Structure 1
């Protein structure tokens, strides 16, 4: 198991949380996604470490931006 926390910019509501959770949850190997709307932090648990670009692509697909990394 691997757990990584990312900073996501642009989330402002529950729909945003749902969109990010859905896109990241669809990534192969992801077992859990926790989103803290107030801080913009997204914690992803997966079977194996994920490539940052894979996470970035899923966040982009949801309409938001991965900050840093």
Structure 2
């Protein structure tokens, strides 16, 4: 299991946090996603086969930006 912290731009409320959490959890191999509005980041735990690029693409498709 691997852990990655993604800095995310564009979240402004708890609904955004929930949306980003659900989007990240929908990526194949993601085991958990803890999203913080205060820190503008997501801490994601995932299988070694899972691509960070896939997580970034899912967040971007949801309307947010990984920086």
TM-score (norm 2): 0.90
TM alignment of 1:1-69, pairs within 5 A: 1-48=1-48, 50-67=50-67
Cα shift at 1:25: 0.2
The runs of 4+ residues in structure 1 deviating greater than 4 Å are none
TM-score (norm 1): 0.88
Q: Structure 1: state its 5+ residue gaps.
A: none
- Residues 3 and 45, structure 2, Cα contact 8 Å, conserved in 1: yes
Equivalent residues, number: 67
Q: Structure 2: state its 5+ residue gaps.
A: none
